Amino acid sequence: MLSALVSGGVFLLNSPFNKDEVWDHLPREVQTQLIAKKARFFIIDAYQVASDTGMGSRMNTILQTCFFAISKVLPSEQAIEAIRQSIRDTYGKKGDEVVQQNLHAVDETLSHLFEVSVPDKVTSHAEMPPAFSPQAPQFERDVLGVIYAGHGDEIPVSAFPVDGTFPTGTAKWEKRNIALEIPAWDTKICIQCGKCALVCPHAVIRIKVYDSKQLEGAPATFKSSDTRDKEWQGLKYTIQVAPEDCTGCGICVDICPAKNKSETRLKAINMVPQPPLREPERENWDFFLKIPELDRRLIKNTNIRQQQIQEPLFEFSGACSGCGETPYLKLVSQLFGDRSVIANATGCSSIYGGNLPTTPWAKNLDGRGPAWSNSLFEDNAEFGLGFRLSIDKQTEFARELVRRQAASIGDELVTALLESPQKDESDIYEQRQRVELLKEKLKGLDSPDAKQLLALADMLVKKSVWIVGGDGWAYDIGYGGLDHVIASGRNVNLLVLDTEVYSNTGGQASKSTPRAAVAKFAAGGKPGLKKDLGLMAMAYGNVYVASVAMGAKDEHTLKAFLEAEAYDGPSIIIAYSHCIAHGIDMTTAMSDQKVAVDSGQWLLYRYHPERALAGENPLILDSRTPTRKVKDYLLQQTRFKMLQKSHPEHAKVLWQEAQQDAEARYRLYEYMAQRRPQQAAAPAEVVQIPVITGK
């Protein structure tokens, strides 16, 4: 950090330690550099100032004030007044409360900024930890770790892979330690519902069920309890947090339904200071990882409390703390990750999904994990369709080769390979066993067909193709491709991470942005309706369509993902994804999702074409009649509230229209869901169909 500091330069450190004790907490290398460069040393506990002034974890105003106070590029009073005016100009539209919080933060900053006298000798025995964990493989340490430390330009070309490929599962070596607080598990209060692990955006909360003998040699602070599920009687249950990977978002605490009756402010999982727990919980985490994963065939993946035992193969991403997109990707990785192929559209999911030098996409102990590749906004759907076409063709050829080799491998194995179902974990496991047997038999054969089949044998195991992107891709730039792909009738699964705004590129409005929301290119509030992508997809009749919101109804979300993947045809899941761009408290974002559904602003439904074949209505409306007003939802988010400040009369009109939108949309879906299949009206009968209106 100090390599670029000139002699006599200034070093400002954001630290929880006061000016009298901070020196002894600095690493030896840092002390050495500060002394050698005769640096001026300042500290501030910006986290504490932000917390005390109601800023949450936002420190930009605080550190900007520090810069001007220390640098003297402007006279102090002039600089501070310029900052105050900048605050009024920047945040004025967001309301007086936000402005006052920032102004208060400026005042508190000046009283909490201290200069530390730099001693003339080094006293610390602490060493700087390496950029990557010492446990990481050599390539990860010597190449990726060097890039991560900011010295990538110093690596010779010869150190890089000749084919351009990089290892997966590398985000686990970062150990960023950015959380001031992390969740702690209370074994006595926990009801083992699995919700905390489900909503964790960074997969730092894990659950394992295991035999008690695995506790031999456990650290003294390692926690466990008896399992509650009847299917797992006699086994142990542990919820473990990765202390150095947690971002401290607190969503797990907000979602936890278990209350401590003796102290109602506490739940089964609670946020506690990280520094005292760092060492013991690091030891507990390392021990936890060594406990074997439960056999997937013993997990009932149709309910959250058991499904969350499945190992996530998407972990420790660099997404924003509390991200609303990543829990859905993590769920895909748990359910289908060991056999999934993912086409990703450029956007947030590509930044946190494949940002050099690390990737959160991982693999299990068997070496299986998602195959992930990124493409552009405009062609990602076709990119993913190409995956499906290629896999189908290779599978077709592999099956043909199996038939040709019947004499060599045996009719019984041929029949089992070609005709056995692959609907659940047990089926997949057994098919993999048959493929391994096939490979053994083929190794002793020297014919061209045998060699080709050996190369294609793994294609005999079902592959799950997912096409992933945000609303900018699905509703806007990539919609033409998306429409083309679902019209193809091919077995692909499209996951739309709907933040209702171009999150990654600066907060521009998309066709998914709802009426009255303020965004770039919609500064006066979006005047029109949100595009109904789900309704458009349903029009094909042969597309599985679901609209989900994990924070509102997690079991519904799980059911939709399982149904979509099992459906032999195109499926599309539109997933409500809260975003920091909404101007919300990310800690309670899952609760905000529930308000979205309760107010009718977001609908939960599933459209299953196979129900129509069975003589049933294909549309199931899983949302209940709205119990709250849309206003309750809008007031939670700055993107709506700020319009009241800038254009109060216009906001009143748009908010009223937003309420009408929600009511009309619910009536339309309710009508569609109640219709009997193939029902035709009598010639003289007039059928009243709700119409969505709006200026």
Three-state DSSP state, 573: strand
Both 534 and 647 in one domain: the answer is yes
CA-to-CA distance for 630 and 515, rounded, in angstroms? 11
State the average pLDDT over residues 616-631: 96
Give the full edge-to-edge strand order of the sheet including 205-210.
Answer: 205-210, 236-241, 225-226
CA-to-CA distance for 252 and 208, rounded, in angstroms? 17
State the average pLDDT over residues 581-610: 96
Owning domain of residue 578: 500-674
Does the pLDDT of residue 81 top 90, yes or no?
A: no
The two three-digit tokens of residue 567, written as one number: 């459906």
CA-to-CA distance for 323 and 316, rounded, in angstroms? 12
User: What's the DSSP call for residue 182?
Assistant: E
pLDDT of residue 55: 82
Q: Give per-residue pLDDT as tens, 352-394.
A: 998 889 999 999 999 999 999 999 989 999 999 999 999 999 9
Among residues 15, 209, 51, 35, which one has the least CA distance to residue 117?
A: 35
CA-to-CA distance for 525 and 272, rounded, in angstroms? 40
Does the pLDDT of residue 693 top 80, yes or no?
A: no
**How many CA atoms, within 13 angstroms, populate the side-chain half-sphere of residue 438?**
33
User: How does DSSP assign 456-476, residue by residue?
Assistant: HGGGGS--EEEEEEEHIIIII
pLDDT of residue 652: 94
Q: Give per-residue pLDDT as tens, 129-149.
A: 888 988 899 999 999 999 999
Q: pLDDT tier at 678 (50, 70, 90 boundaries)?
A: low
Does the pLDDT of residue 680 top 50, yes or no?
A: no
User: How does DSSP assign 201-228, residue by residue?
Assistant: TTS-EEEEEE-GGGGTT--TT---EE--
Residue pair 77/85 in contact (Cβ under 8 Å)? The answer is no
CA-to-CA distance for 679 and 547, rounded, in angstroms? 25
Does the pLDDT of residue 690 top 80, yes or no?
A: no
Both 610 and 526 in one domain: the answer is yes
Both 531 and 440 in one domain: the answer is no
Is residue 448 domain-resident? Answer: yes
Both 299 and 411 in one domain: the answer is no
Is residue 525 domain-resident? Answer: yes
Q: Give per-residue pLDDT as tens, 87-104.
A: 888 787 777 888 888 888
Q: Which residues contact 456 (CB under 8 A, 6 or more apart)?
A: 394, 397, 398, 401
Is residue 324 domain-resident? Answer: no
With vertex at residue 225, the alpha carbon angle to CA 231 and CA 299, rounded to the nearest 5 degrees, is 30
Among residues 427, 450, 428, which one has the least CA distance to residue 439?
A: 450
Q: Which residues contact 666 (CB under 8 A, 6 or more apart)?
A: 600, 603, 623, 625, 626
Our CA dihedral for 307, 309, 314, 320, rounded to 10 degrees, sits at 90
Both 427 and 505 in one domain: the answer is no
Both 181 and 304 in one domain: the answer is yes
Q: Which of 83, 116, 149 is the last residue of a domain?
A: 116
The CATH code of the domain that includes 180 is 3.30.70.20
3-state helix, strand, coil in the chain (%, to 5): 45, 15, 40
CA-to-CA distance for 558 and 572, rounded, in angstroms? 14
Q: Give per-residue pLDDT as tens, 527-541.
A: 999 999 999 999 999
Is residue 391 domain-resident? Answer: yes
Q: How long is the chain?
A: 695
Share of the chain above pLDDT 70, in %: 97
The CATH code of the domain that includes 107 is 3.40.920.10
Q: Which of 259, 294, 310 is the last residue of a domain?
A: 310
Is residue 490 domain-resident? Answer: no
Both 233 and 181 in one domain: the answer is yes
Residue pair 206/240 in contact (Cβ under 8 Å)? The answer is yes
Both 523 and 584 in one domain: the answer is yes
CA distances from 306 to 14, 53, 225, 297, 314 (A): 42, 42, 15, 12, 18
pLDDT of residue 497: 98
What is the distance, to the nearest Å, from the Cα of residue 76 to the centroid of all Cα atoms in its chain?
43
State the average pLDDT over residues 491-517: 93
The two three-digit tokens of residue 193, written as one number: 């519902």
Alpha helices by DSSP H, 377-518: 380-404, 406-409, 411-419, 425-443, 448-456, 471, 479-487
pLDDT of residue 684: 47
Both 453 and 529 in one domain: the answer is no
Look over the chain and give the mean of its residue pLDDT values, rounded to a whole number. Answer: 93
Q: Give per-residue pLDDT as tens, 41-52.
A: 999 999 899 888
More confident residue, 105 or 495: 495
CA-to-CA distance for 549 and 552, rounded, in angstroms? 5
pLDDT of residue 682: 45
CA-to-CA distance for 12 and 34, rounded, in angstroms? 11
Q: Give per-residue pLDDT as tens, 472-490.
A: 999 999 999 999 999 999 9
Q: Give per-residue pLDDT as tens, 634-643.
A: 999 999 998 8
State the average pLDDT over residues 498-520: 91
Three-state DSSP state, 146: helix
User: How does DSSP assign 621-672, residue by residue?
Assistant: E-SPSP-S-HHHHHTT-HHHHHHHHH-HHHHHHHHHHHHHHHHHHHHHHHHH
Q: Which of 92, 116, 140 is the last residue of a domain?
A: 116
pLDDT of residue 107: 85
Ramachandran class of 70: left when φ > 0, alpha when ψ lies in -120 to 50, beta otherwise? alpha
Q: Which residues contact 687 (CB under 8 A, 6 or more apart)?
A: 681
Is residue 595 domain-resident? Answer: yes
pLDDT of residue 331: 98
Among residues 264, 260, 270, which one has the least CA distance to residue 205?
A: 270
Both 440 and 505 in one domain: the answer is no
Q: pLDDT tier at 669 (50, 70, 90 boundaries)?
A: very high
State the average pLDDT over residues 319-334: 97
The CATH code of the domain that includes 553 is 3.40.50.970
Does the pLDDT of residue 495 top 70, yes or no?
A: yes
Least confident range of 83-87, 553-557, 667-671: 83-87
Q: pLDDT tier at 166 (50, 70, 90 boundaries)?
A: confident
Q: pLDDT tier at 691 (50, 70, 90 boundaries)?
A: low
Q: Give per-residue pLDDT as tens, 216-271.
A: 999 999 999 999 999 999 999 999 999 999 999 999 999 999 999 989 899 999 99
pLDDT of residue 330: 98
Is residue 124 domain-resident? Answer: no
Both 521 and 655 in one domain: the answer is yes
Structural domain count of the chain: 4
- Burial of 302-333, coded b for 16+ CB within 10 Å and e otherwise, reads ebbbbbbbbbbbbbbbbbbbbbbbbbbbbbbb
Among residues 35, 38, 44, 40, which one has the least CA distance to residue 11?
A: 40
Is residue 432 domain-resident? Answer: yes
User: What's the DSSP call for residue 171?
Assistant: G
Calculate helix-pair angle for 648-674, 638-646, nearest 10 degrees. Answer: 140
The two three-digit tokens of residue 263, written as one number: 């102290």
Both 555 and 657 in one domain: the answer is yes
Question: What are the strands, taking DSSP E only, across 149-255?
Answer: 181-185, 205-210, 225-226, 236-241
